[in-house]
Structure 1
């Protein structure tokens, strides 16, 4: 799986940030940012003004970069600072805070509290120990080392003078690797086992040894040229001498197992054929990694590179462009990126055709299912019309048989509920009591009888008003009638008297009393 790291180069006026990706042992630039530091930040960091006491605010652009979750590597010009990595075999935050405070005292003329962890965040080893990255002034190296040892911390220091060496932090192999960084005046050799650096040596061999041809760049140089080969021999001699020095310095008489791979970086890595030459002479696997010099060294963007900066990286990102990965547009003073993609149409032709076929079949099935449901509804409707005409003679059901059946059902329910109360046993009992109390000699016709819970209403007619009063008196004598009242009595055109009697029934508790 590819691993990513952010490499930072602090210049006098800007920070150059490069996202580097390792795939199968080869490194490529994925993104590039140029962050303007601002005049206040320059003055404080590079000591252009002394006696400054206020704290430094990290540029907002760098804050956004820090929140992206990448591992960080820092590279600062060697003329100003050393770059150090301190391995702490503990995770006690209190001890770590003591170290931070101790280191910050000799940094600059201003306070770095609350700033160091944001700008140089701690890295975590797989074994659980922590790594803090610090920038030290040259004259503070020995005093800081002695103070750290006084609190029982034995840090492993490595000096980094370019952008190559921080990449050790994301190497996945566990074998022994020698990293060679070819600087301008001198070169640095770092031995590492996996992610842990165990050997550091500085040799006085740099690309300025190539003389005047170094100013024209190294893309056109070939190892077969006599002058270049002589210079490469001096590099080779420094490497072999370092191997012998490492073997002699091994404690306990243990034999050093030897390196398995060499990675050469820096300006000299641009020389064509240098990796094959070193591989043949050292009998080791040698690979090359370089970052364009205009990314690594220049404090301002050269005029000839401005067209490159205005377009996707045509130089360093040419291979990334061919692979169709995300490209970044960047200009001076901006912190942001514009995603651009190159789609491989041949690769996506089959999935796109398969998706189109699936959608077509799905739509066809949906339409056919809808038509089937529609035909089924028409068939059911036709059967309902036939049944309606069969049971309801003379009816017209063709228009809407469903609503006609619903209307007939509601009408039937109302008729059933109207007669349902008359079927209760208590309703029959009340009607029997009325019949017993009215003698046969009284002319009495009951035309309407309604029963609802504890109330009964009788409507009818008799021959005269005296019969009406007698009927009320007789009904009042019924034991379970609570109250009998004559609501209305009037003469009809036929000479008979129409009456309406309201009866209120006793409940079961009142009957027992």
Structure 2
């Protein structure tokens, strides 16, 4: 039988489900990648006059242990849901460390007990919003765990893990489910409580324990017939009540063989119908509360389990009231008995929760209750240790081979980089660090480029200014240029010509371009046919440097 992850190889497991009316035991053996269920057993909890707390449960467990040898097994159990306080909490962040640090403060606000009196654990839940994290915080009084551990200890059992029944119920659904991404409601209808689970997309989203089960009907039968609760329970189970119609029960006449008349049958029928209606009312209220927190979901079906699922017509009533298809929770095909199909999903899920999600789901065995793993249980891990040693050896060999290959690859890489460095940078010989040498050379080129950029300003560049002035030079051969200085958009030209008209025409051509804010001309006659000139040309939009303005 395949598992969904497994925890330890060749491990013997004994999972217990201690209910109100019966104790169920599942034994299994794990392999490398699977597990095999080796036994399923159930014992009724028969209470006797004068019993103290837990006496009937101890007797039931003792009868199970007399028929099943679970020495050397890893013992798993659950804390009954009615003893747990479960709260869903949303955080505006998803960091696990921050959530762990914030939980004590949230617990003080959400729990009706002092946190010093509680054992708490939490597990992550899927959130409909990406900017928040949801958790399920579960807590119980320390004394409740102490009583449960002490009860098992008197029978010679020491639990390795104490989980939450809701997680076990969900894990059973997840194991057998073949419909991807569906939203479902699970109802495990028991003797004194009903466990409700909302699951979606393969994740547990919400859970609640609804107080009330068919034990209320048993008590009413016991009062009506003046018999024990156990006898009333047997009568109710033998009656095989059909909830679809009271007439169906009248027509069968079977109730008469149980010593019931029509009036008593009608009372039993009405009380059972009333119980189902109360359950439906609580389910509807829970769904509304959940939708406020999580958002609306479209549910595909309702899956029922527990002793209450054996009642004929209970699925029909739930389907009619909830307006959803109702089916039995799928279970092991090799066990056709109806009692096993309906009453063993939680104990089966207890094993699955340990194998698949023990690090991610609630566990109440903390602090003083952490089990001692020394002694016999250590033998379970001998083979795991051998595999770990082999893995370490393989890792060492792989590390040595990787080091050698990295050295060869590095040498080839260095050689290739050096060849490219010598080719691209015209180097004559290889260097120790070609990348560093290339980077230094590139930085030097950048410095030289920066120096050129300082000389040749961006925008209205010197070359553009010079080109514009030169294009207007006179074509006369007597025009001679003796000096040209350009500084920040201002050009000064010194020279000589044979005629003042030539230099005046040159000035006018510059002014006509409209690209210069001013063109100032000074001339002097040094000798006949030789006129010296000095011209200052200011480019538009440029200010005269402060130094030259002062002059």
Indicate whether the TM-score tops 0.5.
no
Max Rg structure? 1
**Structure with greater contact order relative to length (CA < 8 Å, sep ≥ 6):** 2
- TM-score, normalising length: structure 1: 0.33
- TM-score, normalising length: structure 2: 0.31
* Greater share of helix: 2
